[in-house]
């Protein structure tokens, strides 16, 4: 069997994502190989399985050897037998980029399980599509510093004061504090995304379309070497 004890769809998607990470955007990758970016987004977000026929077609498009997408690799890129399970009581959460986080077709779309540049281990009881991000920039200082890790759960609805990852209409992701601001004349909820650093502006959904991707569940800061 090709899956060697792992989900073959996850193995194939991992192979696809490793290739996509070589490009600045999903659209650039799709354009390079003559692929449909909408279809790729559906694969990445777990709305479609990467089945046998589709995997073989993608291998041809990418110029890869037959069935190369079916070989599992570990986080260093080496082939593995698929039995490197996390310790009991822990689960792996894939760490993705802010570019990847913005590629949601809808606000409620989950990030596909098993995809990411690397993984964090956590004891939290999270939804199946939780993911991790590395904080960028200074907009959330002093509480969140660049290089910190955050774990996001798309299945948790934010409460006022929670920290969330959201995207704008340009599919750009951002990490901010969540504040509901009532409803507009159309009866739509208005939200405000607030930076903790006063030098940066807030975002409001009545001025800029915003969609919540997920709610922060865990924050990790690592001691920097001297």
How far apart CA 132 and CA 95 sit, in angstroms, is 4
Considering the domain architecture, whether residues 50 and 98 belong to the same structural domain is answered as no
| Predicted pLDDT of residue 83 | 42
Considering the domain architecture, whether residues 207 and 108 belong to the same structural domain is answered as yes
Residue 110 sits at φ, ψ, to 5 deg, of: -85, 160
| Predicted pLDDT of residue 173 | 87
How far apart CA 36 and CA 59 sit, in angstroms, is 15
Domain that holds residue 38: 8-70
How far apart CA 217 and CA 36 sit, in angstroms, is 33
| Predicted pLDDT of residue 102 | 52
Q: What is the DSSP letter of 174?
A: E
With respect to residue 80, please indicate whether it lies within any of the assigned structural domains.
Answer: no
Question: Structural domain tally of the chain?
Answer: 2
Q: Write out residues in the chain with pLDDT < 70, as ranges.
A: 1-7, 72-88, 99-118, 223-226
Q: Report helix, strand or coil for 55.
A: helix
With respect to residue 81, please indicate whether it lies within any of the assigned structural domains.
Answer: no
pTM of the model: 0.58
Considering the domain architecture, whether residues 108 and 66 belong to the same structural domain is answered as no
């Amino acid at each position: 069997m090709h899956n060697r004890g792992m989900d073959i769809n996850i193995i194939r998607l991992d192979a696809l994502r490793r290739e996509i990470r070589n490009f600045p955007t999903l659209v650039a990758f799709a354009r390079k190989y003559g692929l449909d970016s909408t279809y790729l987004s559906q694969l990445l977000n777990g709305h479609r399985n990467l089945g046998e026929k589709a995997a073989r077609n993608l291998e041809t498009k990418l110029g890869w050897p037959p069935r190369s997408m079916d070989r599992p690799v570990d986080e260093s890129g080496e082939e593995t037998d698929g039995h490197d399970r996390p310790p009991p009581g822990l689960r792996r959460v894939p760490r993705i980029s802010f570019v990847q986080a913005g590629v949601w077709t809808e606000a409620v779309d989950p990030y596909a399980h098993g995809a990411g540049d690397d993984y964090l281990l956590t004891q939290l009881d999270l939804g199946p599509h939780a993911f991790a991000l590395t904080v960028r920039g200074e907009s959330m200082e002093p509480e969140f510093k660049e290089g910190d890790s955050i774990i996001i759960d798309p299945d948790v609805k934010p409460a006022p004061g929670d920290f969330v990852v959201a995207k704008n209409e340009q599919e750009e992701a951002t990490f901010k504090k969540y504040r509901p601001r009532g409803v507009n004349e159309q009866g739509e909820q208005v939200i405000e995304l607030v930076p903790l650093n006063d030098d940066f502006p807030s975002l409001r959904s009545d001025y800029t379309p915003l969609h919540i991707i997920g709610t922060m569940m865990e924050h990790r800061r690592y001691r920097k070497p001297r």
